[in-house]
Structure formats: structure tokens, C-alpha cells
């Protein structure tokens, strides 16, 4: 066996050992959702349906945890995204605009600029991709929802 082949096999072996060892790091291993405290008074079922499809996995306490969220280091990234998403805007713990992330103008800007849902979310959640018409309906619906305090 050549030195290059030996080096490659050792690298693969060490890589597998590292992958196995990082599975014991506990961050990102909580797959339960906190209780729903208070949802917004949605302006329509359509607004809620679009938000559920495109936003709820990170911005609610109704996260559907995919299989890959159980494998480190991906589990760390998923957990971080959900924690940050809930901290910024949580449709299951609605504070009537108390958090800056709940301001309709900020939500609308993020959606219209294409920042939300984020691009890296689409490969595993193609249903979250919104057409321009759906983006407009979601923004208008969230604005109307915010007025229904």
C-alpha cells in the first residue's frame, strides 16, 4: 500500500473517530418543544398557514425536529438556529410587539429582502420557499395581525 493510501486511510479513520466522539457533546440534543403560551390573533387562517409552513420551525414552540437534528455537529447548528429564532420572534409566545422581532415593519423587511426564511433552510425544507405573491400575503397578513392586539 502506498504512503498516500495509508495517509488517506488514517485520515478517514481519525475523522470517523472524531465524528463518533462529538456525538457525546450534549448541546443541541433537546428535541422537546416548550408549551405554547400565546399565539397572535391571526388576521386569517391563510396567514397562519403560510407562517406555519415557512416560519414555525424556528419561530415557534412547534418545531418539527428532523432526523439530522440528532447528529452532531448538525444538531448544534439546528439547535442554535431554533434558539436564536425563538429569541427574536416566537409565534407561540407572542408578546404583542414587546420584542423588536415582533414589529411588523421588521418582519416585512426580512421577508421582502429574502432574508427569511434563510437560504440554507430551503434544501431540506423546499415547502418553505415562498412565491412573491405568498410573501406579499404573509407580510400584509402579519401587518393586519399586529393591528389586532
CA distance linking residue 59 with residue 92, whole number of Å: 8
pLDDT given for residue 59 in this prediction: 95
Give 93's strand partners: 38
Indicate the SS3 state at residue 116. Answer: coil
pTM: 0.81
Q: What is the pLDDT of residues 34-53, one digit of tens each?
A: 999 999 999 999 999 999 99
In terms of Cα–Cα distance, which of 82, 61, 72, 73 is closest to 125?
82
* Residue 75 C-alpha from the chain's centroid: 12
Distance CA 145, CA 105 (A): 12
* DSSP-assigned letter for residue 94: -
Q: How far apart are CA 51 and CA 47, in angstroms?
A: 6
59-117 per-position pLDDT tens digit? 999 999 998 888 888 888 888 999 999 998 999 998 866 676 678 888 899 999 999 99
Joined together, the cell numbers standing for residue 66 give 428532523
Q: Strand runs (DSSP E) across the chain, as ranges?
A: none
Nearest by Cα to 56 from 30, 27, 94? 94
Amino acid at each position: 500500500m502506498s504512503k498516500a493510501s495509508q495517509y488517506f486511510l488514517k485520515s478517514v479513520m481519525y475523522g470517523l473517530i472524531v465524528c463518533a466522539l462529538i456525538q457525546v457533546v450534549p448541546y443541541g440534543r433537546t428535541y422537546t418543544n416548550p408549551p405554547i403560551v400565546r399565539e397572535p390573533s391571526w388576521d386569517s387562517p391563510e396567514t397562519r398557514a403560510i407562517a406555519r409552513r415557512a416560519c414555525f420551525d424556528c419561530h415557534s414552540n412547534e418545531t418539527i425536529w428532523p432526523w439530522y437534528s440528532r447528529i452532531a455537529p448538525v444538531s448544534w447548528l439546528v439547535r442554535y438556529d431554533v434558539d436564536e429564532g425563538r429569541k427574536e420572534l416566537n409565534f407561540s409566545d407572542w408578546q404583542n410587539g414587546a420584542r423588536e422581532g415582533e414589529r411588523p415593519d421588521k418582519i416585512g423587511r426580512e421577508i421582502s429582502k429574502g432574508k427569511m426564511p434563510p437560504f440554507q433552510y430551503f434544501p431540506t425544507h423546499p415547502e418553505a420557499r415562498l412565491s412573491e405573491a405568498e410573501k406579499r400575503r404573509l407580510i400584509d397578513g402579519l401587518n393586519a395581525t399586529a393591528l389586532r392586539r
